[in-house]
Structure 1
């Protein structure tokens, strides 16, 4: 089975942090292969030397291959559904198992929220922007959202990603709100946003 379901320029858009919707590339994607539907799981893991997709309920693991870049990983899995998978990541002598942030596609901001915000009529927007403990698909974590309409890219910088802007690239919504859910973290993490403008200049901003 072919392991490569993605073009080099798509990988580069993630590696160079130039994609305003990393969910289009990363996470799990149903694809047609040899006349049947399989799942392609992709992850950009800047410090990893090896990675596996773990299906905890089935007690199965699938080794990921590097594709077009030594830290961009992919594997294809034949299964009807692919929910709440995990990634086992080898970094140096250490290994860790995490839920993939890019597996959680449900935005916390509704279309109605965004409509009110665009009109300037969302008087409780502070309840949506910022960092909020929440649960998606049965997994607890923290949902982050920041308004940065003139940014080319926005990433999270935090204790949990060693302040590396490559690891948790955010998705841009229609009104200039960038968002990402980070599973299995709690209240009290120190974080900032790394904001790139269209000239490529990088700014670090505390959450207003």
Structure 2
């Protein structure tokens, strides 16, 4: 009898245990590796769990003829702490999302409009490339170099999702040429000639 009472008491206690369902980002506080601090639940609104920015095409008037509209915790506070995020890609004709990697997440690409050629390179240097039509999906494993290019003559768009609130981003071209790494070191580590390296540094705003 005592054992039964104990088990019932334990079950009752567990059923009433405090569970933190969400952690809406307090954007007035600094972000940490674990995300933003939570705002108090009493201040949470339904609109914190809604983001409308992906419905508007991004500005593709730039060097890559493409735009990325993020919906991370900084733009979409309700995502904070949930281990996921999303973004919109817009590619004008000849638009490209250059070779890049997300150190902290795998990515799923869902094509909305147009035609997009996408691919990634494995750690064994195997190449996987596919031209995608609206409704098709492609996955890019975490940490691997990948890209997206507009494969048609009209604009293309897609939505990407990540299994991390902070997937991270490193664009290969910018990592090589948009910084202060001395040109001779870039030449020595890429097998490119000095003229090409200096030209690319000039285009992308690098020095050295």
Give the TM interval when normalised to the shorter protein. Answer: under 0.3
Structure with bigger gyration radius: 2
TM-score, reference length from structure 1: 0.28
Which is richer in strand?
1
TM-score, reference length from structure 2: 0.28
